[in-house]
Structure 1
Amino acid sequence: MLFTDLGLSEPILRAIAEEGYTSPTPIQAKSIPAVLQGGDLLAAAQTGTGKTAGFTLPILQRLSSTKASTGKRLLRVLILTPTRELAAQVQESVETYGKYTGLKSTVIFGGVGANPQIKAIAGGLDILVATPGRLLDLMSQKCVSLNHIEILVLDEADRMLDMGFLRDIKKILAALPKQRQNLLFSATFSTEIKALADGLLNSPALIEVARSNSANEAIAQLIHPVDRTKKHPLLAHLIKTNDWKQVLVFTRTKHGANKLVTQLEKDGITSMAIHGNKSQTARTKALADFKAGKLTALIATDIAARGIDIDQLPHVVNYDLPNVSEDYVHRIGRTGRAGSNGVAVSLVCVDEHQMLRDIEKLIKQKLPQEIIAGFEPDPNAVAQPIQLRSQQHQQSRKPKAAGNGGGSGRAPAKRSSPPKRSFNR
């Protein structure tokens, strides 16, 4: 199948061709016709399968082929994402493939000043990409109206629930017109996602391009057992001996990410951290330098890394295993995208053995283990309790002013429940 077979207009097809793409990914081949039909959609696809274009392309088509009821430029599409990085990525997709349509769009999120965003909205928009917190802030200031929204997209809906945005989402939904098209995209069909979909969607088309909670078969997964005190030396050893040029490393905490950057820099390994306490400018620079090959290692926490889109990222390392098993699938999904191969390595100490068992149960496979010479774990080591991320979040959560907080620009509400270029945007 080709993009020319999907009913997209010449201006959109021209933009797609200029990016070097001819054939849609499976999620795009299924979701584009479904969105064009105008009905609601519930779609599950692993990270890196191209779902962003799966909804941006047909949305651009629908808006460019129909006029607003008043003839004026009205805000007709709202795309909600959980993090700044993902919001910026979605806006990039809208701009790239809508450049010949005459449609206007902008992105709003916390961590940066609100005035330029307010000015962009006041100038007239067709499409708004937003994180929930900043959107609610501007709604409270009466800087944005959702009265004419025709299409609502909830992107990475599972992550929005995990980050505690359910209450914010409900407030936003209450401000929308009753008659609209709803598109819900998620990496998995969890119980919470199904409950949200039941209350939001009307007889939706259902699309699932990969088995729920499964790991990409293009990713080689490997466990290196190691003592907790030897994780940093082992990571430096792996990077140097294997001559890794680009590796995304996940830590459990922001403090752990900062500490690891300092340690790796002493080893002569260029690295930067990306997490919620970093300014938006620092996060953008770290990601840009990593994509440009100026950094060997990008150290990230789970929330900050959601939405990172890097073509053919070769290596992902779980420096700490995630306490939420589903996050393992999201983490390693940053590599092995759209058919390319990737390697996901996890450094596992005795404290994390139960986490490893939970992950293996989730993905329904036993992960291979390899002990590295010189880093053999102490067989008599005793497990120590791990302070889980959710506990840290609840202890440290304080209201943040707009423009100074995490990915949304406001503190999340309490969590409601525990060779050929690939088109992967």
Structure 2
Amino acid sequence: MYVTKNNQSIIVCSHDVYPHIRSSEGIVNRNWFDVLSEKHNNLGLLSSDKSIKIIDNNRLIILDNNVLKALYYWSKLPKNTFLGFLYRIFNRISVKLFALSKESSLYQILWVKIQTDYVFRISNSNLENTVFWSRILPTFSILPVINAWNRKRIPFIININDPFQNNLKNGYSYDEKVFLETVDKAQCWTFPSKRLAIFMAKKYNLEVNRCFVIPHAMRNQYKIYDSEKVVKGKLKFVYSGTFYKSAFTDSFGIELVKFSLSEEINRVEFIFILSQYDNFSLNWIKKKIPNAIIHTKLDRDTVLKITADADCMLVIDSIIHQDLLKGKLIEAISQGLPILAITYPNSVMDNVVKEYGGISSYQNIENDISDKFINVVTNLESGIWRSDFCEKRREVMTKISEENIAKATIEITQYALERFLWEEGKSQREPIAPITYNWP
């Protein structure tokens, strides 16, 4: 049986989607879904606040689900409120009654049940060539698809942006146990970097040829950094995202203090846009860079306006994230901005930034970060360097373009559908797995 290209219906089951879930995971998922929706003609979404309606047995309509919204609202109420206290009582009873693991909650139980019903209803409809995608974390985003599969086999794909945490001495964590249910059921898996794909395939016994790389998606930007930009006043060095203690290390702090003693510091203005932070992070920044501007609780459009006017974006890596591709790195690349990476040698970030034409500095090499800060200031003040950078960045910007992200998604979806039909005996020939999706 041959299925024509882009003739699938795609159902995305992903709990965290911006703006209802204001997290880095939510932003990455929203960008990918929006990119796909521009290129694909029959797309549905099941998220923390969305459900689906089928029109005339062949068209998908995405709807707000007020029940899901109310459940999420109750789960986030402070415990010192009446409804918040009441929810916690019901949650405690449910966890004990159903012998759930400590990672589960009443909210998760109800969300999974509601979305499982939608997935199963869709699988029983006349909607042809339907492929399900589940994007994690959180891992319970997988459960509606797995639950439906256990009642009726369906083709599905899992996207994993981060490895699972496991603090146990022996055995698998709750997240890992859920994920392992996909090994014999999913048609394929996608990851934002090849290093993560290989790591996960080896650890959980996935078939490597069915593990594909799709970089984090970012919408095409209207304003792109221009080499002819005239700098008025100081150069704007901008960091946007979560303050990770594992990334903002003591050694990084020492290097910032060294840079603050240089002449070049007088030509730089630091701007930090923090999405997740605490008093420690605010004090850390103020101590290392007393004149830094700190923004918090900004909406996404405002953040993008600030970063679009940056002269250099700072992207900062943790030693435990060397195999990962950061969404904020792709965001900076989508705006064509010069980048200074604070990372480790041969990390995914290091390799991408170098290919893009940015500059990497290393947390584990003394004086490297402070020296690179000085170099970046000199480079940004050079028209020749800016022109060379804008020429070099093109190839990487093309790789993360909307067109390439959508193309990869649709082709991998097509492969999953054809492989499922082959497994079900509805096609005689096993499809050939795409081999081009292995960057970065």
Do they superpose with TM above 0.5?
no
With a CA cutoff of 8 Å and minimum separation of 6, indicate the structure with the bigger relative contact order.
1
- TM-score, normalised via structure 2 length: 0.40
The structure whose Rg is larger is: 2
- TM-score, normalised via structure 1 length: 0.41
